[in-house]
Amino acid sequence: MPAPVMSVPAAALPIQPVAEGVRLRLKVTPKAKHAAIGGLQPEADGGVALKVAVTAAPEDGKANAAVIALLAKEWGVAKTAFSVVAGATDRRKLVEIRGSTAELTARIGAWLQQHAKT
C-alpha cells in the first residue's frame, strides 16, 4: 500500500512568485538511475527545495535540459518557458518559469500538495 500523501503548508513550498511567472528552488541529482521528481528537502536558510533526479550527466548543460524537460512534461508547461537563473553548474538551482504567476503557482502548488513528501 502506498504511503499517504502528506499535506504541505503553502509556506513550505519551494515556489516564489515573480513579476512574469514563478521561481522554483531545486536540488538536482544528475546521473541517477531513474529520472524522477522527489519530495521536498529543507535548506540551510530555512527554505525548501524540490528534489529532482535526472539520468543525464552534468556536462554541457545536459542535466539542466533534462530537468527542464522532466518538469515541463509533468506540469504541462512549455520547455521554452523555463530558464535556469542561478546555479547552472551547481546541484542547487533556481529555475524561473514564465507565464501567469497565479496559474503557475496554483498548478505547481497543487501538484506539490498531491505528490511531494517532506
Give the pLDDT confidence score for residue 6 in this predicted structure: 39
Superfamily, domain 14-115: YggU-like (3.30.1200.10)
pLDDT of 35 higher than 90 = yes
Q: Sorting pLDDT into bands at 50, 70 and 90, what band is 117? A: low
Mean pLDDT of the chain: 87
* Nearest residue to 38 via CA among 74, 87, 69: 74
CA distance 8 to 50: 12
DSSP3 helix / strand / coil % (the chain, rounded to 5): 30, 30, 40
Q: Sorting pLDDT into bands at 50, 70 and 90, what band is 116? A: low
Give the three cell numbers for residue 19.
Answer: 513579476
Give the pLDDT confidence score for residue 29 in this predicted structure: 94
Give the pLDDT confidence score for residue 109 in this predicted structure: 87
Cβ 9 vs Cβ 44: under 8 Å: no
CA distance 82 to 77: 8
Q: Where are the domains of the chain?
A: 14-115
